[in-house]
Amino acid sequence: DTGVSQDPRHKITKRGQNVTFRCDPISEHNRLYWYRQTLGQGPEFLTYFQNEAQLEKSRLLSDRFSAERPKGSFSTLEIQRTEQGDSAMYLCASSLGQGFTDTQYFGPGTRLTVL
């Protein structure tokens, strides 16, 4: 059983550059979530997809952030004009979408460092 995969695992970039992360969910999972985790904190919800539709975005997701899931399979998260405050672990999760109580499975995360 292949779990959620994320690429790259680590990204170091300079302030002002654009970065893009990819998430491949467990196959046939309808829901895909993005979270951000800063040092010493729990993950915080960023956005959520049901198939290809982006249904909710957190206030944490500024205009510099954009997420897509074009064919309802993999998803990308892009950050434009990165800032040092964007340094964090970006986590992706997926779930079957079978009601209120199904389980989210998390990927290993992409650690972003903005210099």
Find the binding residues for other proteins in span 48-67 (CB under 8 A). Answer: 48, 50, 55-56
Q: Is 49 or 79 the residue whose CB approaches other proteins more closely?
A: 49
Q: Which stretch binds other proteins (CB under 8 A): 11-19, 20-28, 31-39, 67-75?
A: 31-39
* Shortest distance, position 72 Cβ to other proteins, whole Å: 16
Residue of the chain from 15, 97, 113, 115 that contacts other proteins (CB under 8 A): 97
**Residue of 84, 68, 65 whose CA lies nearest to 76:** 68
Q: Which stretch binds other proteins (CB under 8 A): 19-27, 59-67, 71-79, 99-107?
A: 99-107
Q: Is 43 a binder of other proteins (CB under 8 A)?
A: yes
Phi–psi pair at 111, nearest 5 degrees: -90, 120
Phi–psi pair at 56, nearest 5 degrees: -155, 140
Helices (H), 27-84: none
Beta strands in the chain (DSSP E): 5-7, 10-13, 19-24, 31-37, 44-50, 53-57, 65-68, 75-79, 88-95, 105-106, 110-114
Residue of the chain from 4, 79, 88, 112 that contacts other proteins (CB under 8 A): 4
